[in-house]
A and B are shown apart, each in its own frame.
Chain A
Amino acid sequence: MSSALSLLELLAPYPPGWGGVLLAGALSTLAISLGAYGIGILIGLAGALGKLAGGRPLVIALDLYTTAVRAIPELILIVGLYYAGTDGINRVLLAAGLPPIEINGFVAAVAVLGIVQGAYMTEVLRGAILAVPVGQIEAAKAFGMRPSLRFRRIVLPALIPNALPGLANLWMCVTKDSALIAVVGYQELALATRLAAGNTKHYFLFFFAAALLYLAITLVSNVLFGALEGHFRRGQPKNA
């Protein structure tokens, strides 16, 4: 075994050490997670509104989407969507007489994780919207607000405190699920760690370092979401 100094050298951020590769991987993990989370929120909002206010065919289609995504293992979804998505786009391009394109790994990763997140987000936001007191919405209607204005001024601010615990959970899920992207070969923290560990044969050291990085992301996020919830629940009774 090597001495403590050489272990530190292995984690150094400049080239002989692999710390820089790990940190770049962590940044990439954060970027993928943020992108997927944003897409997930958009899909989730649309999905929740569609489920609550849409016609029957739309509700059935959305139910199929949320049930399928939540019943199939994430790994299979990610691998399936990754290949099906890139292949599908190229087939469409071929049919249109255009040359195939190489789809950026980052874009594919964000899209795939975003679709998965969207299904869970739909359910979280649907529940949060349903938990908004009916009286408030009726009051808004009585004031003559249009549906879009009502959503922006009344429903959205009222649903955020309800949705935040679920949203926090989903953020933790996406940071951890992004590790699965390593299986399809896009370099984020998990794959960068595997690379570093495989090159130096210090498997334990590097996977432990990666675990600490993930843990740091989780703990910092915990604090941030706690502060966010405190902010959005200001003025609400403490034991509500």
Chain B
Amino acid sequence: MNFSWVSTYWPLLAAGAVQTVLLLVISVVFGFILAIGLALAQINGSRGLKWLARGYCTCLRGTPLLIQLWLLYYGVGSLLPLVPGLRSSFLWPVLREGFFFAAVSFTLNYAAYEAEVLRGALLAVPKGELEAARAFGMSPAQVLRRIWLPRAIRIALPTITGEVVLQLKATPLAFTVTVMDLYAVAYKVRQDTLLVYEPLLVVTVFYVFLTLLVTRAFKIVETRVPVRR
């Protein structure tokens, strides 16, 4: 075991860690917002909307994330330059990056899984609480914002923790579209130094550490908002 390379590669490792965390945070935050819409559409939407939301979830949960990522990066990415004017617009430097495609596809994928979790949780909120809220004269939006959603999120919290960890474990896929995330750094170290196991080990320790951090953070939130069983 030879870890002398860490001293020269640590700035790259740190930058890679930032990219990994950034991908995780972006996909979880935006994916969650999208998931709320998808879950509500499946519960309350009109027939067309319901069908659309369900189809979206089935398609994104039924295909590998790697294929979705490549479909976006290679497929849509090869069609983007055909859009007139896009190439010269200020958006182009962002749209050219692998990071953008990775963030978008992770977000869309996370939303599909999270929507299923939220759908179950929204349906699990006791009817009486929603009726009480309506009896207080709250508008549907207020009921959703004050009662329905917070209760559903609390119910789903343990499952959400699991989903976030799964999302973290999916982020190394970004390396296949040229994102310099933590795993990509390990790959580069392997190419430079011909060490196979040591870089993977260091990166693995970081992922496990991040997993512990995520589970601890959610545990704290769970104890802050206790539920009576």
Contacts and interface: CB of A to CB of B under 8 A. Distances in A.
B196 A207 contact: no
Contacts of B76: 204
A208 B63 CA distance: 10
Interface in A194-240: 194, 197, 201, 203-205, 207-208, 210-211, 214-215, 218-219
A83 B204 CA distance: 15
A74 B168 CA distance: 11
A84 interface: yes
Given A176-B64, A182-B66, A214-B64, A75 B173 contact: yes
B66 A80 contact: no
Contacts of A193: 67, 70
B99 interface: no
Contacts of B71: 203-204, 207-208, 211
Nearest to A221: B62
A8 interface: no
A72 B208 contact: yes
B75 to A, nearest CB: 3
Nearest to A176: B64
A212 B157 CA distance: 32
A89 B68 CA distance: 35
A53 interface: no
A180 interface: yes
Interface residues of B, number: 36
Interface string A73-112: 1111001100110010000000000000000000000000
Interface string B47-72: 00000000000110111111110110
A235 B58 CA distance: 31
B64 A190 contact: yes
A172 B197 CA distance: 30
A183 B62 contact: no
Interface of A: 71-76, 79-80, 83-84, 87, 172, 175-177, 179-180, 182-183, 190, 193-194, 197, 201, 203-205, 207-208, 210-211, 214-215, 218-219
Interface of B: 58-59, 61-68, 70-71, 74-79, 168-173, 175-176, 183, 186, 196-197, 200, 203-204, 207-208, 211
9 A-B pairs with the lowest CB-CB distances in the bound complex, closest first: A204-B75, A218-B62, A203-B74, A207-B71, A179-B64, A176-B64, A73-B169, A75-B172, A214-B63
Given A73-B169, A83-B197, 9 more contacts: A71-B211, A73-B168, A73-B171, A76-B203, A80-B204, A176-B65, A190-B67, A201-B78, A214-B64
